[in-house]
Structure 1
Amino acid sequence: MWKGLIKTNRQKEFFKKAERIAEEACKHLTKTDREASFSYETLKVIKDVKYPSMSLAKSEGGEGLSLYELLLMQEKIAEGDGAAALSIGWHMGIMMELSQEQLWDKAAYDRLVKQVVTDQKVVNRAATEPATGSPTRGGVPETKAVKQGDQYRLNGRKSFTSMAEHLDFYIVSAYVEDKDTVGWFLIDRHQAGLSIDKTWDTLGMRGTASDDLVMNDVKVNEGDLVELKSEGKPNAKGWLLHIPACYLGIAVAARNDAIAFAKDFQPNSLNTPIAEVAHIQDKIGEMEWKLMQAHSFLYSTAKKWDEEPEQRGLMGSELAAVKLAVTNTANEVVDLAMRIAGGRGLSKKYPFEKYYRDVRAGLHNPPMDDAVIAMLAKQAISKD
């Protein structure tokens, strides 16, 4: 699957680091899936290879990962465990965006970067809330920040906080009363009043441990208000392609295991393994061309993002279309793998049922299919 995608010695070295993370994450799949937890051992390897700082610019102490390189690594990690890849992918993308877009005041940004580079600290945005749903739908946070002297007091609850218990910092969205807008606060995990409510009990992606972050009179300084909502046209966010890269990695893992199963399994009704059966070969061939298409769309778009920065502002619909196409294709590939495995694919003894549960989550990560289709339709109509 990787033939032709890895083109340079630099990419080979990065890929080896991703392989190491994937191998470690794979060791803990059963436990993290059963307990809806994230593995401390996997996070240790992530930090040991200095992955958290790699998407920062070289001048800041990182590796200056290109989007193409980030996706290579994220997809490979997802082959080992999609939940681990998706979880750390949020951190990687956020740091890439902050580094490239310079969204924050320099002092606040440098404070975070120092922690990431020196100690490989990890961060994620906490934006989703039970009442508002996905922040991409435009709901105003119920979490409120009230000004008190030179501090703010925050109260609220955030859901879907991936790696909640393992994060070193949270970037929390809140309605800022004195500014009458939505703002983002950088909060240290040790801040008084912060707690984690173990609410994560889902069908798939259980290993992201996306529990609730609860704030009860959390006091932060004015300087911790690092970002205010922009009313302008939203910037295209290439780093969000870590989402389809993750689900593509799950699909590749399912493809690999399905082929291995087909080559090994021989019922007593046949003289050969089922890999020699025509309808099984049809399914394998269908998986192959679907994955070829998905890889081509994903990585050609990433390459365009990297090599034509002047076009980035025009790539919003293209990025959204990649997410829609790749995540849906990943679901189709995993379904084919399940059909090859047959009834055994439903057994916990095999990995297929977990792939099936995990890959479904991609349909619920932003941007949602209906929003992408509506966007593409409006653009097509306005152009003609």
Structure 2
Amino acid sequence: MTQQHSPDLLIRNDREAAIAGRAERLAASFAKRAPQHDREGSFPFANFAELKEAGYLKLTIPLAFGGEEASLYEFVLSQDRLARGDGSTALAVGWHLGQLMQLRLSRLWPEKLFEKLCEEVVSEGALFNHYASERATGSPTRGGKPETKAVRVNGGWLLSGRKTYSTLSPIASAFTVSATLEGEDVVGEFLVRRSPAVTVEETWDTLGMRATGSHDLLLNEVFVPDEETVFAGGAPRKPKQPDEAGALLHVPACYIGIAYAARDFAIDFARNHKPNSIGKPIAELPHIERQIGEMEAKLIAARGYLYFVADRWDRSPDQREALKPELGLAKHIATNGAIDVVDRAMRIVGGAGLAKSLPLERMYRDVRAGLHNPPMDDAVIQTLALRALQGE
């Protein structure tokens, strides 16, 4: 028996309904393959073929370059729905779409280079990401300098090094990497194409989000021509814009989607599970009703704040710098709220929820990965504390 829903009040117009509907159809297909990919830790190539066919890969590309130019609210709405089928696929494609949205807003790249990348996504279904993390430096948000080196040669640069947490590495045809320029205390950024000098070492074997393909990426004297060098010293780089941070809301949207799917599963289970010891569905037991109510309250609050911040960000371009703490808080509330919702779903279902034959235990593992996606909880809380202490 499938859980029936009342109309979602967060869908406000026909365009949003179409975006949500497409994501829901894709999610239903992905859900069928998710158990196998989770079990094997394999990459869902078939899912990405469907994403390409559905036009999903161009969701955040500018209209002028053939994309849909989704707002942040629409991006969140779509990723929320997609993650209900398979969290790994949603998170992985979210990085592709998020990077493209950041570039659309910041215009940090040379315009012709950005247009060329967008055309490749629209016409060929190219997948793109940015790889900065390394074993020695940890998260680039903590300020570590990359050990990947860029050596100047005639007409471009040779890059050598290893990147970790390289989501989409089995399928990405183009990606940017950060590298320290040899002999200088300067970090450059380079657009790298798939070639024999780029190899993937399959190191991704994790508790959750097992199908994101976040393996190690090895660069062995990869040549990057000057025309595909994003930044490598010389003229000062354009400063980052406050717009860029908004795209990261795809991360909490993914975990909210997982929580929503867990909620649906638990409620459906409670309505239909009738132990002979009580002779009625467990949904009618007071302690189960209480768990469902607590789960619902947490999900409504976390999801509502996430969408509120996305909508405010869209409507107030002049306030985006001031909204940065709210973006972090939305991730903090949504991710921790999602963990709580899935935990309660497990309590409702009971021991059956541990079974590999049911999707709930996978959701329970996947949702915990949100704690390790940026921005981190400690950084969010510290930012809020400093703002309060400064009287803002």
Instruction: Specify the code of the residue in structure 1 equivalent to 2:307.
Output: Y
Instruction: Specify the code of the residue in structure 1 equivalent to 2:212.
Output: T
CA contact (8 A) 1:192 1:219 kept: no
Equivalences for residues 106-255 of structure 1 within 5 A: 106-177=111-182, 180-189=185-194, 191-227=195-231, 235=242, 237-255=245-263
Instruction: Specify the code of the residue in structure 2 equivalent to 1:381.
Output: L
Please give the alpha-carbon distance, in whole angstroms, between the structure 2 residues aligned to 1:327 and 1:197. 29
Q: How many residues align?
A: 383
Please give the alpha-carbon distance, in whole angstroms, between the structure 2 residues aligned to 1:212 and 1:174. 15
Equivalences for residues 34-53 of structure 1 within 5 A: 34-53=39-58
Please give the alpha-carbon distance, in whole angstroms, between the structure 1 residues aligned to 2:299 and 2:154. 56
CA contact (8 A) 2:103 2:109 kept: yes
Query: Does the residue aligned with 1:186 lie in a helix, a strand or coil?
Result: strand
Partner of 1:19: 24
**Which 4+ residue blocks in structure 1 deviate beyond 6 angstroms?**
none
Please give the alpha-carbon distance, in whole angstroms, between the structure 2 residues aligned to 1:357 and 1:117. 34
Which digits, 9 at most, give the CA deviation of each residue in 1:39-69, with x for residues without a partner?
1111011000111112112122111101100
Cα–Cα, structure 1 residues 373 and 274, in superposed 2: closer, same or farther, change >3 Å? Answer: same
Query: Does the residue aligned with 1:314 lie in a helix, a strand or coil?
Result: coil
Which digits, 9 at most, give the CA deviation of each residue in 1:311-330, with x for residues without a partner?
11211111001101110000
**1:24 positional shift:** 2.1
- The reply on whether 1:334 has 2:334 as its aligned counterpart is no
- The reply on whether 1:349 has 2:353 as its aligned counterpart is no
**1:222 positional shift:** 1.6
Query: Does the residue aligned with 1:217 lie in a helix, a strand or coil?
Result: strand
**1:291 positional shift:** 1.0
CA contact (8 A) 2:175 2:193 kept: yes
Equivalences for residues 283-294 of structure 1 within 5 A: 283-294=291-302
Query: Does the residue aligned with 1:251 lie in a helix, a strand or coil?
Result: helix
Partner of 1:358: 366
**1:177 positional shift:** 2.6
Please give the alpha-carbon distance, in whole angstroms, between the structure 1 residues aligned to 2:92 and 2:322. 28
- What percentage of residue pairs aligned between the two structures are identical? 45
- The reply on whether 1:97 has 2:87 as its aligned counterpart is no
**1:363 positional shift:** 0.5
Equivalences for residues 294-309 of structure 1 within 5 A: 294-309=302-317
Please give the alpha-carbon distance, in whole angstroms, between the structure 2 residues aligned to 1:310 and 1:179. 36
- The reply on whether 1:64 has 2:69 as its aligned counterpart is yes
Please give the alpha-carbon distance, in whole angstroms, between the structure 2 residues aligned to 1:34 and 1:125. 27
Cα–Cα, structure 1 residues 279 and 9, in superposed 2: closer, same or farther, change >3 Å? Answer: same
- Which of 27, 31, 35 is residue 36 of structure 2 equivalent to? 31
CA contact (8 A) 1:147 1:178 kept: no
Which digits, 9 at most, give the CA deviation of each residue in 1:178-226, with x for residues without a partner?
663112111111x231000010000000011211111111111122211
Alpha-carbon RMSD: 1.6
- The reply on whether 1:322 has 2:330 as its aligned counterpart is yes
Please give the alpha-carbon distance, in whole angstroms, between the structure 1 residues aligned to 2:339 and 2:189. 34
Cα–Cα, structure 1 residues 180 and 192, in superposed 2: closer, same or farther, change >3 Å? Answer: farther
Please give the alpha-carbon distance, in whole angstroms, between the structure 2 residues aligned to 1:51 and 1:178. 42
Query: Does the residue aligned with 1:226 lie in a helix, a strand or coil?
Result: strand
